Amino acid sequence: MFRRAASLSLAAISSLSILAASGCASLKNALTDAPSEATVEVPKTTPEQAYDAGVIFLERGDYDAARREWDRCVEMSSPDSSSRVDCMVALEKMSAPGPIEQ
């Protein structure tokens, strides 16, 4: 079963290489490891995007970047938006525990 899947994969690769060699522009770089163009940075322009970016950084273990994104989210969101509350809660959860003031 696995050998058949491997042979199908090889057939698909050979057909791609034929198309790429024939000048098909969309497949020219399909078989290379390096990207043909530089990556495009998409600016995070909404509070929701900044919040989501913070969550991604948190999952990757980059806590400073997560805090920066959530700070940006708080700065750009309106006082009554749910995104602002989400970012403030995330920042509160990330804050270091301290002594309880009475």
Quick one: three-class SS letters along the chain? CHHHHHHHHHHHHHHHHHHHHCCCHHHCCCCCCCCCCCCCCCCCCCHHHHHHHHHHHHHHCCHHHHHHHHHHHHHHCCCCCHHHHHHHHHHHHHCCCCCCCC
Domains and CATH numbers, the chain: 47-94 (1.20.58)
pTM of structure: 0.53
More confident of the two residues 93 and 44: 93
Q: Is the pLDDT of residue 23 over 90?
A: no
Instruction: Give pLDDT, residue 6.
Output: 45
pLDDT in tens, 32-73: 556 566 666 666 689 999 999 999 999 999 999 999 999 999
